[in-house]
Amino acid sequence: MHVSALLPLAALVPATLCQLNTLAKAKGLKYFGSATDNGELSDTTYVSILSNTGQFGQITPGNTQKWVYTEPTQNTFSWTQGDVITSFAEGNGQLLRCHNLVWHNELPSWITSGTWTNATLIAALKNHIANEVTHYKGQCYAWDVVNEAFNDDGTYRVDVFYTTIGPEYIPIAFETAALYDSTVKLYYNDYNIESAGAKSTAAQNLVSSLKARSIKIDGVGLQAHFIVGPTPSLSSQISNLKSFTALGVEVAYTELDIRFTSLPPTAAGLTQQGTDYANTVSACVETTGCVGVTVWDFTDKYSWVPSTFSGQGEACLWYSDFTLHPAYYSVVSALGGTAATTTLVTSRTTSSATATTTTASGTVAKWGQCGGIGWTGGTVCVAGTTCTYSNAWYSQCL
């Protein structure tokens, strides 16, 4: 386990006692959601949490709606993998943020290595968007139409679309998406636009330029891949969000995680992570026109961070073993919730601590601990759950 005696009691409370999406909607947001990916849906513990609409009211497909999956060869489309995620969300009654139509990354080789003219690449771009938007029409709350088009200094990112078509590829993408689904929300999505600076200004200028041409753009997604400590302050995030909503678009935090740059985290670091998460969620709650928060997967078990930033991680609200970061309860507090009272069990040989909850009959509730070396609490799980081994120190009613 990742918990220790240094952690606050609140970090150890079973996840069923607080409901992020329920709390978010009570605060006026449309959703609290999570990204997911196809391979993760074979993990039954993971799925049982992700399917809980009290926790997550919205789903984003992490990868399988991207170009390399949906049009791997020119004009040959494959929706199978993307449909797995969309069907999952639909079956649970969860909103779907569709992600994404145009990005410089995860492109098939026929795009990146092709020989293009302005006209032929525009035709391929329009054809791709037309087919994908048509296939998912009626299923998506929003589309991330264009993803990460700017460098941090506010200049355009150089990729095959910019090099061949120029900046006009962005208006073309939005116009085409609107042509094939006039009701879905159309978003520009990017990272490092969460506080004032050249890149945020460039994104605002893009919104203004599209609106000036009467091209449909409904929202801006702020990815919010943050680092513990340097995460923008609450006031700076609110001010920045308002600079977008003042342009007549809605905003959302679309890919939130807050990573440690060195592991394991200290107790002070965990406290700071909680503050950082709370500030971002609070910024959305306190900004009229901010519609929701999506974490970029909810558990460290499937986080993208360790494979991308060597030696970094533990960026999510759940640890890899599905116990909770203290930051989870910081988010609960930011959404107006409170932690339930539980019993803390201490004195392990590993100096770790675990909380559990028992029902009135003395059985252990779902998500509670039911076994492990040194465990002295209940071992009989509530009906419908089984005491499931996680590691030598921890078994949980699932």
Which of the residues are catalytic?
148, 255
Q: Tokens standing for 371? A: 């076994």
Residues in the chain: 398
Q: Which among 309, 318, 321, 319 is positioned nearest to 225, based on CA atoms?
A: 309
**What are the residues whose beta carbons fall under 8 Å from the beta carbon of 383, sequence distance 6 or more?**
363
Cα–Cα dist 75/55, whole Å: 39
Q: Tokens standing for 160? A: 């095959």
**Using CB atoms within 10 A of its CB, is residue 179 exposed (0-12), middle (13-18) or buried (19+)?**
middle
Amino acid type, 223 = Q
Q: Which among 277, 293, 259, 334 is positioned nearest to 97, based on CA atoms?
A: 293
* Cβ–Cβ < 8 Å for 300, 257: no
| 36: β partners | 61
Q: Tokens standing for 328? A: 């989870």
* Cβ–Cβ < 8 Å for 100, 189: yes
* Cβ–Cβ < 8 Å for 125, 173: yes
